[in-house]
Amino acid sequence: MASTSNRWTEQDIPDQNGKVAVVTGANSGLGMQTARALAEHGAHVVLAVRNLDKGREALARIRESAPGAKLSLQRLDLASLKSVREAAAELHAAHPKIDLLINNAGVMYTPPAKTEDGFDMQFGVNHLGHFALTGLLLDLMLPVPGSRVVTVSSFGHRIRADIHFDDLQFDRSYNAVVAYGQSKLANLMFTYELQRRLAPHHTTIAAAAHPGAADTELNQNMRGLARKGAELIQPLFTQSAAMGALPALRAATDPAVTGGQFYGPKGMGGTRGYPKVVASSKKSHDTAVQQRLWAVSEQLTDVRFSV
């Protein structure tokens, strides 16, 4: 049902019965709220999580608000390409199709660390893991009219953000804010290039979203003055995880969404409010960099897309 006001809410989510939705990082925060809302509207939701114990707890909490919800768990560690491949194989075995892939999981401002494959943790989890997962699942989506890939970015894509091709993994020097900005800019560039490749197929679309300043566990790696500053402004600018999930939910379910759109909160400088189409940085629309990033991502993950 279309919204009758400019306040798009969970009540505007159309019936999702018969749809299969895979939500990464669905054990807490934005991912759990996204999974809950989709399940409440009838979707079979796969909670793709790194920690299965936490995933079971999330599944139980969702069932409290949505008795009879169709839910399943899938182990997925985006910091391991082996785990990504195993998860994709298991999803192929369990589901003949996927309607929605919500690339939600992420890490933010982590200390210097590498993934199992030697990638910078933020770039590896936030971008490369989702890039690989999408490529490995796309064959389950392309035959499905109306299927969507929604990738969660951040307004961090504007903050000291660039694609550092000369040091993608920050082997020479590391700054947590710069690394996060690169990963979130990469999320948008991936979405735009994926949409360009999907456009001729007329079935699957790619869109992006950002939650604004949502109150989630993602801020746990902030240190020192940054953490104190965040705690001071939190009451003024942050919103609940349920509100923060609305942009991704709208991108995933609103019939009016078109490929390549970016959804985020409409108020307070994009930090909070109901979701609408928002603009991303000029840098995010650089097609030459998008295509170079795509080629590098294929090389690093050894995943080739079927489009």
**What pLDDT is attached to residue 239?**
86
* Contact present, 121 and 176 (Cβ < 8 Å): no
Two tokens at 111? 């200390």
Establish how many alpha carbons lie within 13 A of residue 69's alpha carbon, considering only the half-sphere containing its beta carbon.
25
Q: What angle do CA 196, 76, 29 make, to 5 degrees?
A: 85
Beta bridge partners of 149: 101, 206
Establish how many alpha carbons lie within 13 A of residue 20's alpha carbon, considering only the half-sphere containing its beta carbon.
15
* Sheet containing 70-75: order of strands: 70-75, 44-49, 20-24, 100-103, 148-152, 205-209, 262-267, 272-277
Cα dihedral 179/185/186/190 (nearest 10) = 170
Give dist(CA 107, CA 134) in Å, integer.
18
Chain length of the chain: 307
pLDDT one digit per residue (tens) for the chain, 307 residues = 444 457 999 999 999 999 999 999 999 999 999 999 999 999 999 999 999 999 999 999 999 999 999 999 999 999 999 999 999 999 999 999 999 999 999 999 999 999 999 999 999 999 999 999 999 999 999 999 999 999 999 989 999 999 999 999 999 999 999 999 999 999 999 999 999 999 998 999 999 999 988 665 544 555 555 545 445 445 556 789 999 999 999 999 999 999 999 999 987 566 788 999 999 999 999 999 999 999 999 999 999 998 9
Q: Is the dihedral of CA 119, 122, 125, 129 positive or negative?
A: negative
Q: Which of 109, 174, 180, 263 is catalytic?
A: 180
Q: What angle do CA 207, 76, 299 make, to 5 degrees?
A: 65
**What pLDDT is attached to residue 42?**
97
Centre a 10 Å sphere on the Cβ of residue 19 and count the other Cβ atoms it contains: 23
180 is catalytic: yes
Cα–Cα distances in angstroms (integers) from residue 234 to residues 19, 64, 216, 268, 275, in the given order: 36, 28, 11, 13, 20
Residue-wise pLDDT for 289-303, tens only, equals: 999 999 999 999 999
Q: Which domains does the chain have, with CATH numbers?
A: 10-301 (3.40.50.720)
β-strands 272-277, 262-267: how paired? antiparallel
Integer-rounded Cα Rg, in Å, for the chain is 18
Establish how many alpha carbons lie within 13 A of residue 11's alpha carbon, considering only the half-sphere containing its beta carbon.
7
